[in-house]
Amino acid sequence: MSGHKNWVSKRTCVYNIGYHIVWSTKYRRNVLSGAVEKRLKELFQEIAIDFGFEVSEFEVMPDHCHLFVTCHPKYSPSDIVKQLKGITAR
């Protein structure tokens, strides 16, 4: 990390928060490939825009996915996971 370049300045705070989130499919089934993988990546970006956080990096494997999310301190990791998993599960 190089100094203050990664910090975000808002009206009431300055922050640099990142969460590494990993979750797997039920029974680790290999279903996250092809069209499902493509749609999942699109949904990650749409959800991030709608809820005001950023998915900096993501990797989708056939049975699990890794996300690196940066967000405002008002969002807890559980709030972010709830939004991502709840919407993409449908």
Average pLDDT (19-32) is: 94
**2 has a pLDDT exceeding 60:** no
Say what the pLDDT of residue 12 is: 85
- Using only C-alpha atoms, the chain has a radius of gyration, in whole angstroms, of 14
Res. 68: pLDDT tops 50: yes
* CB-based contact 10:74 (threshold 8 Å): no
CB neighbours (10 Å) of residue 61?
A: 14
Is the pLDDT reported for residue 7 higher than 90?
no
pLDDT of 46 > 70? The answer is yes
- AA identity, residue 52: G
Shortest CA distance to 63 belongs to which of 90, 86, 87, 40?
40
Displacement of CA 86 from its chain's centroid (Å)? 12
Residues forming a β-bridge with 9: 14
Across the chain, mean pLDDT equals: 90
